Amino acid sequence: MSQPVRTRFAPSPTGFLHIGGARTALYNWLYARKHGGVFVLRVEDTDAVRSTGESLDIILDGLRWLGLDWDEGPECGGNHGPYFQSERGDIYDAYLQKLQAADLVYEDDGAIRFRVPDKDFTVRDAVCGDVSVNLKVQGARGFDPETKQEIEKNPDLVIRRPNGSYIFHFVNVVDDIEMQISHVIRGEDHLSNTPKHLALFEAFGVEPPQFAHIPLNLNEDGTKMSKRDRGALIHEYVENGFLPEAVNNFMALLGWSPKDDAEIFSIDELIERFSLEAVNKSNSKFTYKKCLWVNAEHLKALSAADLREKAAPFLKTGGISPDDDRIPAALELARERAELLSAIPGVIAPIFADPLEYDDEAVTKVAAKEGVTEVVDVLISALEKVDETAWKADSIKSAIHDAAEANDMKMGAMMQPCRVGTMGSMSGPDLAPAMELIGKEGVLERLSEFRTKLS
């Protein structure tokens, strides 16, 4: 019987949740969910100086927001805990004793070194293919930055520092053994560490997990992404009004390609379609524009109720009551334009504004058009004739259309003054449905005020 799937995300809580880390978490989570496995969250907090509770909170909040729930780990516990490396000292001591008993380690100036065998270790990586390294040969060579000369080094791996703290490679492997991890999916920056990990697995007499190193995430210009780059930090997606399902979708595409050209996936579709075989070998390029596009597509796909719920906090911040009866219809207009939840209030604010603020530049531009006052007069009298009970987008549109024809005016020449007069600016949502929401009285009031501005 094959081993049950157990994956893990093993962040070090020393900063923010970065998109690269979140993508690693997502791939591990997708793999576990796809195979009915277990997703473990392990906190690699051995660096007591740099690890902080604040950073841990940011990481956990980010994972929760993305919906990447863990089956074992902080808060929920599990059978393989504790899930903080800082609490696992006894386990590491016991594993060190195993190596001591097998004479595989020795003391060197207070540190403990693991004797690396003189042989090739081959990482059989699900993404990168086979990578072979002889640690004894590789580790014996070093570079002295001062003399700029190659120097000989002790190739044996330090696994415990003179101060008693354990090195990353050792605790990482011990935990993967103890937590029975079947698949290690992590960033390609760890590929060069993996032969060392294989040597430790062998020393403990344990079959290593399947490794899959995922390509790095670069900026569009090929430089390494840093936390200062736009789109680098997960909490900024939350604040900027992205949907978590869109961020998951976008992160999935950073390094994984479905077989067809499809690009928009729900989380269930991602679970169904994700595979390690389809993870790209080459580095991925991060583009914020694409992120926005993916988010806009997910906004369009939200149910009306979900859209209302998710937009509510942003509406409140924008000074619009989410409980207004016109909100559902306004949100339908907004989602055609807004790429982000945070952009929704801006799109629909003119509908709810009282008084409406006019964009001076737009007013000046419209005022400069010949015959504009006549156009507005025609608009006012045409709209006055629309029955209050028939005040719907279609009847508004046909009233304007009929008035244009009757007065030998072009529709284009009517619509711009109509838009600036009722919505205050040149751009905005689909006009007739917006006018329907403003209401007959409101529209006529706005147009008369606009008429006054023009004369």
Give the residue carrying structure tokens 């072979």: 132
User: Among 6, 44, 341, 379, which residue sits at the site for ligand GLU (rule: CB under 6 A)?
Assistant: 44
Q: How far is the CB of 429 from ligand GLU (least distance, A)?
A: 44
Q: Which is nearer to ligand GLU, 255 or 433 (CB)?
A: 255
Give the residue carrying structure tokens 């415990």: 160
Burial readout 152-172 (b: 16 or more C-beta within 10 A, e: otherwise): eeebbbbbbeeeeebbbbbbb
Which range touches ligand GLU (CB under 6 A), out of 7-15, 101-109, 279-287, 378-386? 7-15
Q: How far is the CB of 80 from ligand GLU (least distance, A)?
A: 16
Q: Which is nearer to ligand GLU, 10 or 343 (CB)?
A: 10
User: Is residue 33 at the binding interface for ligand GLU, with CB under 6 A as the rule?
Assistant: no
Q: Which is nearer to ligand GLU, 11 or 37 (CB)?
A: 11
Which range touches ligand GLU (CB under 6 A), out of 183-191, 325-333, 393-401, 420-428? 183-191
Q: How far is CA 145 from CA 45, 129, 151, 444, in A?
A: 30, 32, 10, 77
Q: How far is CA 340 from CA 81, 91, 248, 253, in A?
A: 39, 47, 15, 19
Q: Which residues does residue 212 pair with via DSSP β-bridges, in sequence order?
A: 185
Which tokens in the block code for residue 265?
Answer: 């996936």
Q: How far is CA 240 from CA 23, 243, 292, 343, 421, in A?
A: 19, 9, 11, 9, 31
Give SS3 for 192.
Answer: helix
Rg (CA), the chain: 31
Report the alpha-carbon distance of residue 12 to residue 155 in Å, rounded: 26
* Residues from 159 through 178 that contact ligand GLU (CB under 6 A): 172
Helices (H), 145-187: 168-178
Q: How far is the CB of 443 from ligand GLU (least distance, A)?
A: 57
User: Is residue 186 at the binding interface for ligand GLU, with CB under 6 A as the rule?
Assistant: yes
User: Among 12, 182, 217, 422, which residue sits at the site for ligand GLU (rule: CB under 6 A)?
Assistant: 12
Q: How far is the CB of 228 from ligand GLU (least distance, A)?
A: 19
Q: How far is the CB of 44 from ligand GLU (least distance, A)?
A: 4
Q: Which is nearer to ligand GLU, 23 or 186 (CB)?
A: 186
User: Is residue 11 at the binding interface for ligand GLU, with CB under 6 A as the rule?
Assistant: yes
Residues that bind ligand GLU (CB under 6 A): 10-12, 44, 172, 184, 186, 190
